[in-house]
Amino acid sequence: KNEVEQSPQNLTAQEGEFITINCSYSVGISALHWLQQHPGGGIVSLFMLSSGKKKHGRLIATINIQEKHSSLHITASHPRDSAVYICAVHNTDKLIFGTGTRLQVFP
Amino acid sequence: EPEVTQTPSHQVTQMGQEVILRCVPISNHLYFYWYRQILGQKVEFLVSFYNNEISEKSEIFDDQFSVERPDGSNFTLKIRSTKLEDSAMYFCASSVSRGRTDTQYFGPGTRLTVL
């Protein structure tokens, strides 16, 4: 069983839609990361959070430590948001990654 | 803005050959990591490195792998005798510290193809 599970695996949306990606984990963590990976392969850190909620522009990330669950929301989605979004948990020295959610936003 | 750099961007090698993947972490960072991503699969942790020592390694990081910080700026991953299954994207990352206060910054990756 994967230690970090994401859903959905694939997501398509029309421009302007509100998007939610979910992440559940089963291990102890010190923090949770949301990352973005573009088709070229590069990985960019979007958020690191250990409690509550963070907002950056149109992106919002929340975490519920008791339920071991986090969500990434994108408001007013845009085609440039198309990417793979990855949840990763910080466990001791390492990050444990989810399998990613492939998001495609169409104009 | 400071960034992690990796060279080469793409490395093609024959099975059984040694390869060295190079990374230059962000200059004031103290913790260094290697991850790999086999095509179509999730990113996997290989090794973390701090104070010139491996601090944690995964089951993947066997005797064929080694890491080194040969000078004050470079951080290398060596694969002694490459296998077909080593074909993957290898990402270097660095951070100021570890744990809950830490953000890891990723390099652009090196795509390793083993023929």
Residues of B in contact with A31 (CB under 8 A): 99-100, 102
What is the rounded average pLDDT for all residues in chain B? 92
Tokens of B50: 């701090």
Q: What angle do CA A4, B53, B85 make, to 5 degrees?
A: 50
CB contact under 8 A, A93 and B58: no
What is the rounded average pLDDT for all residues in chain A? 93
Cβ burial, residue A30 (10 Å; 0-12/13-18/19+): middle
Least confident range of A7-11, A38-42, A102-106, B32-36: A38-42
Strand intervals (E) in chain A:
4-7, 10-14, 19-25, 31-37, 43-49, 52-56, 59-64, 69-74, 83-91, 94-97, 101-106
User: How close does chain B come to A47, measured CA to CA in Å?
Assistant: 8
Tokens of B71: 């000078």
pLDDT at B48 over 80: yes
User: How close does chain A come to B74, measured CA to CA in Å?
Assistant: 20
Least confident range of A21-25, A27-31, A71-75: A27-31
Half-sphere CA count of B34, side-chain side, radius 13 A = 30
pLDDT in tens, B26-46: 998 989 999 999 998 999 999
pLDDT of residue B89: 96
Comparing CA positions, the residue from A35, A46, A39 lying closest to residue A82 is A39
Contact map slice: B 38-97 vs A, CB within 8 A? 41-45, 48, 50, 55-56, 58, 89, 91
pLDDT of residue B98: 67
Which phi and psi angles does B56 have, rounded to 5°?
Answer: -160, 145
Using 50, 70 and 90 to split pLDDT, how confident is the model at B101?
A: low
Note whether B9 and B58 are within 8 A (CB). Answer: no
pLDDT of residue B71: 85
pLDDT at B70 over 90: no
pLDDT of residue B84: 97
Which residues are within 8 A (CB) of A6 and not within 5 positions of it... i.e. 6 or more apart?
A: A21, A22, A23, A86, A87, A98, A99, A100, A101
CB contact under 8 A, B48 and A48: no
